[in-house]
Each structure stands twice: as structure tokens, then as C-alpha cells.
Structure 1
Amino acid sequence: MSDDQISQGAIRTSVDDRGVARLTICRPEKMNALDTEANYGIKAAMEEWSQRDDVRVIVLDGEGGSFSAGADVVSINRQSTANGASGLDAGQARGIISAGSELARAVRSAPVPVIASVDGPAAGIGASLALAADLIYATERSYFLLAFVNIGLMPDGGASMLFATAMGRVRANELALLGEKLRAPEALSAGLINGVYDDRAALDAAVDTVAGKLAGKSRAALRLTKSALDAHTMSGFEAAIERELEGQTELLQSPEFQAAIAAFAGAKK
């Protein structure tokens, strides 16, 4: 049973009596694409839980058959077209990318283990959000997609480091430069994720078991273990975030991106 459960439109949160916190992205009609409201809700929940002694593990997932399709391109296009032919200005572009960076930072700064429960696509900033977690489990039908290059952008949300650290430079180059799907079984073979399950029910059962095991361990031991591992594997995270922020701010203002996002948003209407 949950001791608190809150629905905030774009997200739903709960904490059960074991100390397992769960955050579900609730925009299934948009494949859980992240807009301003969702970004704010995720960041606020992560920051609150990081301060709570009763929260011992956090689970991130998405509702309705998608983890997250990435940034809400229709929303971005609306901002861009509001400026007329000039598209996004530097401040708007930087604000959009900063929002994604802050999501990844919020996950990485959580003092307790974070589990990503991935069913369906984890694309763009959605893939970055999943990879920012400490443990990642997926269904057979899931896939990871760094689609940025397909619309004239570069990876953000720490993805340029997170994927290379997890699967190696050559495999990460292939994923980021070609912008093609990496199916869950291949992601497991590449060392990107921890487990693959037949369907959502099996995934939920496995994640709940892992979360329960973690919730039963010393919170201090988990915090210090996570910190020690991060010191060796995540030391380049902040530098990656800053490189991505500078690069994406430039690319979001490019004619190539403006054309790509207008076409993509038009296809989504």
C-alpha cells in the first residue's frame, strides 16, 4: 500500500511502506513526451525524495506502453514559430536544453538507487533519463534511440557521456551518429541495461523484487557505494552536460533544426 500518492497531471508519484518511491510519466497520448510540466514535476519529485529519510529507492517508468519519446517537439515548435522566421532565440534554446540537463542531474544526485523501468521507446531525452538511472530493466519490445541527429541536434541530458561510459566509444558512436534504434536484447548484450523481460507484467514483477531488495539494505551503505562508483564512472558528467548545453543552444537555432522540427511537429498533428 502507498502511504502517499499524488497525481500532478503529467506525472504520478507514490511512496510505499517499504520506502520504494515510484514516479510514472503520464502522457500516454504523447508517448510520454516531456513538456515543461513533466520536466518540472520529475525534477521536483526527485529533489523532494532526495531529502526524505524514508525513501530508500526510486523507480522511474512511463504509462501506456512508452517510457518516454523524448522532448515534446510540438511544444518546442510552438515556441519557435511564435518568434516568426527568426525561430528560437539563444535564451529560449538554452532554456529548453537546461530543462533536460536538470532532469539528468536530479536523477544522478539522488542519494538512493534509481531504477528505470522501460517498456517501449526511450528516445531522445527519454533515453538520457533512463540511462541516468543506476539500474535499468526493459521489456523485449523496448528500444533506445538517440534520435537527436535525425533532426539536426546532438545528444543532451548527459547522453554523450552516459552511453559511451556504459557501452564503449565505438558502440556509442554508432548509436549517436546514425540515430537508429537499439532494441532491448541488443542493449543488454552491449552492457547498456541490466535485464530484459517478456512483457510489462514480468518487468513490473522483476523491478518490484529488485526495489524490495534495495529497500531492505542500509541507506547509508547504498549512498556511499553509489557515490564511490560514480567517482570512477561519472567523473565527466558535468563536463558533458556543459558541452551539450553549448552545442545544443547553437543547433536549436540552426535553419536545419527549424525545418526538421516544423516537419516533425506537422506530422504529429
Structure 2
Amino acid sequence: MTESEELIATVDDGGIARLTINRPERMNALSGGVSLEIRRVLGEWAQRDDLRVVVLSGSGGSFSAGADITDIAANAGDAGVDEAGAVAIISNGSDLARALRAIRVPVVAAVDGAAVGIGASLALGADLVYATNRAYFLFPFVNIGLMPDGGASMLVAASIGRVRANALLLLGEKFRAAAAFDAGLVTEVLEDAAALSARVDEVVAKLAAKSPAALRITKAASDAITMAAFETALGEEMDGQTRLLQSPEFRQTLALFTKSDS
């Protein structure tokens, strides 16, 4: 078991693994340190043969508000993010997405409240996505001079098609749970957090009762088709986001966050 103030990871005797981001005061925004710890835990779980299912969630009424911009601003120089810093930032998101997709058993995301940026990519990288009525997905990158990352440029289009994906990624507007369900982005929408928890527990129990080998092989076969462009998308995001993180537009965003914290 891994348990800290900011991340809770457990595996029970039945092989059910649960990973909860626990930064409610920051809407579970992912600092560099938290992202590294998530990758470490997922990396360990990917090597285990006793796991049956993995559940991802966030505490305090949000799934994750995405990358912590204040963390990025604190580590940037006076001139903003340099090339090495930009590569490190985007590599962190890409490797987080890879670590999630390396899990061989079904991954279930329980989404309440905000799933933003890399947090939305993390949620949508799961195999089954359950959300509350108040949940929403948001890729606000274009609003601050950046582009979607964490595989979002492929994950969204694979789920809802090119035109709807373009609307979500290019407009940078909230996509609420009901609309996300209608578009095929989430598996099911539940009334509230209690109903979400109960439904996820029910699904987890069903998955845990099935043949682990059958689940792994079925997931691998599905991924071979539906996720075939995953690495290509990550490569495009690496090239584009590295440039955009050094752009004047994003430098202005960092300056605003630096001012607000001073």
C-alpha cells in the first residue's frame, strides 16, 4: 500500500487496486511530484499478475484539475519555460498516459466534478469511465496558448469521432457528463457521488469475478485496433507542446499565475 497526503494507492486481497488523487484543496491538480508517484505506482501494478482491476478516482468532489500551473510557474525561469523544461513537462504527461495504458487489466475511472487537461486524459485513458451528473471534461489548452496532451488528441477522437473531438479540443469548452455520455465518451452517468461509488463497486466486483487471462487478452486485442495511433499522437503532442510551452502566449499565462501567488 502507498498512502501519503497527496496520493492513496491500495491493493486488496482480491486483486482490486485503487488509486486516489488526494489534493482536494487544489482540485486534485497534478504537481510534478504527484505525477511521478502515480507513474511509479502504475509501473509496479503493470508488472503484477495478481491484479484483477484498477480503479482511478479523485477525492473531495473533483477527479483532477490537470497539471498544476502554479507548480510549472514556480519551476520556470524569469523568461518562462525553456526547451529543456518544456520537454520535461510534456514528457511527464506522455509517460503518465503510457503508464496507464500499460496496465494489462481493466482500468475503471470514477469521475466526479472536474476532469481537466491531463486529468481528463487520465480519465479517458481508462477502459470504462463512470461519471456523476455534475462531472465535466475540459481541455482548456487552446485558451492558454497550448495544445491537448497525454494522448488526448487521439483518445477523444477514438471515442466520439473527428468533428465532435475537434469541437471539444479546439473550442476549449466544458463537456458535461450528459453530453459526454451521448457522444460515447463515458460508459454511464450516475446521479451523485454515492451512486457513482456504488456502481463502480458493482462493476469492479463483476470484473474481478471473470477470468483474468480472458480480460487481459480481450483488452490487448481491443487496444491493438482502437489505440493503434496512441504513440503517434504522443509524438505529435511532444513536438507541438514543446514549442507552445515556450511561446509568448503561454509565458503570459505563467506571468499571471506568478502574480497571483506573489
Q: TM-score range by the shorter chain?
A: over 0.9
Asked if the contact 2:147/2:241 (under 8 Å) is kept, the reply is yes
Question: What secondary structure is seen at the aligned counterpart in 2 of 1:112?
Answer: coil
For residue 52 of structure 1, what is the aligned residue in structure 2? 48
TM-score, length basis structure 2: 0.97
The runs of at least 4 consecutive aligned structure 1 residues that moved more than 6 Å come to: none
For residue 192 of structure 2, what is the aligned residue in structure 1? 199
Q: 2:104 aligns with which of 99, 111, 122?
A: 111
Distance 1:267 1:195 in 2: 38
Asked if the contact 1:137/1:207 (under 8 Å) is kept, the reply is yes
Question: What secondary structure is seen at the aligned counterpart in 1 of 2:97?
Answer: helix
Distance 1:149 1:211 in 2: 36
1:149 partnered with 2:170: no
Which amino acid letter does the alignment assign opposite residue 226 of structure 2? T
For residue 39 of structure 1, what is the aligned residue in structure 2? 35
Map 1:114-263 to 2 at 5 A: 114-263=107-256
For residue 21 of structure 1, what is the aligned residue in structure 2? 17
1:75 partnered with 2:68: no
How big is each residue's C-alpha offset from its partner over 1:231-265, in whole Å with a ceiling of 9 and x where there is no partner? Answer: 11100000000100110000000010010232245
C-alpha distance 79-113 of structure 1, shift in aligned 2 (>3 A) = same
Which amino acid letter does the alignment assign opposite residue 121 of structure 2? S
For residue 9 of structure 1, what is the aligned residue in structure 2? 5
CA displacement at 1:8 relative to structure 2 = 2.6
Q: What are structure 1's unaligned runs of at least 5 residues?
A: none
Asked if the contact 1:10/1:37 (under 8 Å) is kept, the reply is no
CA displacement at 1:33 relative to structure 2 = 0.3
Question: What secondary structure is seen at the aligned counterpart in 2 of 1:262?
Answer: helix
Question: What secondary structure is seen at the aligned counterpart in 2 of 1:68?
Answer: coil
Which amino acid letter does the alignment assign opposite residue 67 of structure 1? F
Distance 2:249 2:234 in 1: 23
CA displacement at 1:266 relative to structure 2 = 4.1
For residue 88 of structure 2, what is the aligned residue in structure 1? 95
Asked if the contact 1:66/1:122 (under 8 Å) is kept, the reply is yes
Q: How many residues align?
A: 262
Distance 2:15 2:171 in 1: 41
Distance 1:262 1:181 in 2: 24
How big is each residue's C-alpha offset from its partner over 1:152-187, in whole Å with a ceiling of 9 and x where there is no partner? Answer: 000000000000110110001001111000000100
Tell me the percent identity: 58
CA RMSD between the two structures = 1.2
Distance 1:267 1:56 in 2: 44
Question: What secondary structure is seen at the aligned counterpart in 2 of 1:55?
Answer: coil
CA displacement at 1:268 relative to structure 2 = 6.7
Which amino acid letter does the alignment assign opposite residue 234 of structure 2? I
Q: What are structure 2's unaligned runs of at least 5 residues?
A: none
TM-score, length basis structure 1: 0.95
C-alpha distance 268-19 of structure 1, shift in aligned 2 (>3 A) = farther
CA displacement at 1:77 relative to structure 2 = 0.9
